[in-house]
A and B are shown apart, each in its own frame.
Chain A
Amino acid sequence: MGRKRKHSEAEAAAPVKDDTAPERPKRTLLGWKDKKEDVEEAKEASVSVPEFRNKEKVLVTCSRRISYRYRHLMLNIVSLLPHCKKDSKVEAKSSKGATLNELVELKGSSSCLFFECRKHKDLYMWMVKSPSGPSVKFLVNAVHTMEELKLTGNHLKGSRPLLTFSSNFDKDVHWKLLKEMLTQVFGIPKEHRKSKPYHDHVFAFSIVDDHIWFRNYQISVPHNEADRVARGGLDKMTLVEVGPRFCLNPIKIFGGSFGGPTLYENPFYVSPNQIRALEKRSKAGKFAKKIKAKTRRKMHELSNLLEPDEFADMWKDDE
């Protein structure tokens, strides 16, 4: 705990202090950074924009009465993102906007992933940027967790992923906004204390049929050195799926966190409740339809009488 504070203090102090006193060397994952460079950077930094540091922290929670499959999905996501913090379950019915906002403020996180499970069947995911950021509500489908034995890949816990987006994220404004949010939430900050070096897995976000599909692959490349691929090695690269897998259907985008003015509504979205209701209704009418069909048949028969059958009396006289 103490070490964490020291590190962040040194970072925060460096750009502010200017070039007066040489600070202790900045400790990065790759070794100690040289003092001279540090001072130079500080000089530059103080002159121009302060050096950008990704301070993203994600809070991950769920509602109560979440089913096991979705809980495992949430745990998988927690293990994928070292810059997240898992919190205890949130009571459902109360005005969840306010409580969750408070929770996010309390934990000092800059964004939140909230998994809400309704009727023990449907999973909704809220992705929210904290202080005043936009929030998105998704319906999650097609969930496969990492525990499935068919997903055979494995990677370092906390290594930074490569994020690939399909090109149709740039086609429309709401997709661009979603892309930015996904980058910030799913991308691990560069020198996060729990992150590991080397990039050995890749996330793939694609838009197909107006849904965002998520896949996580492990990269396996035959190599000898850490910073160079053997010649032709790129061709021998294979990806093995690690999981989890899910599909997001954006429902609404709000201007505030967990509420606020609606900025976007998905015109194609039909809630799963409506779908179920319609299915039931179609089945429910079966008996009524049968009765109607019978009466229709009767009417039809009455109106179009059959011709008298010439063979009807054939066997009558045989008795």
Chain B
Amino acid sequence: MSLGDDFVEDDEMNMSDEDGAASDSEAESLSDSDNEITEKLTEPTKTAVYNRDGLLDKLQDISWPEDVEWTHKLTVEIDQGQEAVDVNDDLAREMAFYTQALEGTRQVFGKLQEMGLPFLRPADYYAEMVKSDTHMEKVKSKLLYEKKQMEETEERRKARDNKKMAKEVQSQKMKERAKQKKDEIESVKKWRKQRQKSGFSEKGAGELDLEFGNGKSFQRGGGGGGGKKRPGVSPGDRSGGKGKSASRMNNKKREFRDSKFGHGGRKGLSKQNTAETTNDFKGGFRGSKAGGSNKRQKR
């Protein structure tokens, strides 16, 4: 139904011309009349009546009296400007209607404000609306759905871009690391060669003017090969480091043994001082619970 019907009219005009050229008598006669119909108003009254006087008379009949207040009519005429809007261009057409209505409303509001009449609905004025609340709920849910779709596509696009970026960055990092590793190995080899050349003389660290990068790389023990095997332990820790956290493999075995032989804890810490016990000169066993907590705190 929609716009298709409307514009088939125009297409039909063209079609009828072509038909008139090519084929049957029927089509020809029809197209002839069509051609006549498309010509405007220079027609005899038979085909297109235009009784201007009659129309004016009727207009006078039905019009309201001239001095009627404008507030009865509430009409306003908007000048459309010179450009004729193309009917087929939906967006332009709707824009034209929108601007017409907007301009009209502005003018009317100006007038009403001058007249001092209330025209805007207060926020607490509740009355029956032309669309029911359930309908507005549906509208709202549809709008939210559309917004969500848009956001999701945005996010997906961003995630894809980020992934690409991240991949690039990661590959960069890997290359760098490999390069560094190679460099370090090279440097160690060079140093060894140098020492060999100079006959293992104990000249001291001053001779070592080789680049080892920063001390950090050395700490790692030659990069990756001798990596930290005990991550929970800082280098200066003599106590033996943290016990294994409970959520490791062999959890069941551990649990069973714990239940059988008691909880365990760190080895050999019972005779070392903590912050609290440093200043206790009397010392001694203050009760089992205190001792237990002592051990636990020495982690």
Contact = CB atoms under 8 A, between A and B. Distances in A.
A226 B105 contact: no
B104 A204 contact: yes
A60 to B, nearest CB: 16
A237 interface: yes
B59 A143 contact: no
B32 interface: no
Given A152-B139, A204-B97, A270-B9, A263 B109 contact: no
B67 A267 contact: no
B74 interface: yes
B119 A173 contact: no
Contact of A267 (B19, B37, B55, B131): B37
Interface string B107-122: 0111011001111111
A167 B80 contact: yes
Contacts of A69: 1
Interface in B114-145: 116-122, 125, 127-131, 135-136, 138-139, 142-143
Interface string B22-37: 0100110010001001
B49 A161 contact: no
A202 B77 contact: no
| Interface residue tally on A, bucketed by range | 35 or more
Contact of A268 (B38, B74, B102, B130): B38
A200 B121 contact: yes
Q: Which of A149, A152, A156, A267: most chain B CB closer than 10 A?
A: A267
A227 B120 contact: yes
Contacts of B16: 278
Interface string A127-163: 0010011100000011100110100101111111111
B226 interface: no
Interface in A198-215: 198-200, 202-204, 206, 208-209, 211, 213, 215
A52 B64 contact: yes
Contacts of B15: 278-279, 282
A261 B57 CA distance: 13
B156 interface: no
Q: Which of B50, B78, B122: most chain A CB closer than 10 A?
A: B50
B210 interface: no
A118 interface: no
Contacts of A157: 127-130
Interface string A240-279: 0010000101000101000001111111111010110011
A2 B118 CA distance: 30
Nearest to B116: A227
Interface stretch (B39-47, B176-184, B280-288): B39-47
Q: Which of B26, B71, B105: most chain A CB closer than 10 A?
A: B105
Contacts of A275: 5, 8-9, 12
A133 B130 contact: no
Contacts of B79: 166-167
A183 interface: yes
A190 B71 CA distance: 8
Nearest to A196: B127
B69 to A, nearest CB: 8
Given A141-B5, A165-B75, A264-B51, A134 B62 contact: yes
B77 A166 contact: yes
B49 A265 contact: yes
B48 interface: yes
B290 interface: no
Contacts of B80: 166-168, 206
Contacts of A121: 1
Contact of B113 (A156, A208, A227): A227
Contact of A211 (B6, B12, B135, B143): B6
- Nearest first, the 9 closest Cβ-Cβ pairs linking A and B are A164-B104, A226-B118, A267-B48, A204-B101, A227-B118, A209-B87, A198-B121, A134-B58, A167-B79
23 contacts: A141-B6, A142-B2, A142-B6, A154-B136, A164-B100, A166-B79, A167-B77, A174-B55, A176-B59, A184-B64, A198-B118, A202-B108, A211-B87, A229-B113, A234-B106, A242-B130, A247-B6, A261-B51, A263-B58, A267-B37, A268-B37, A274-B12, A279-B12
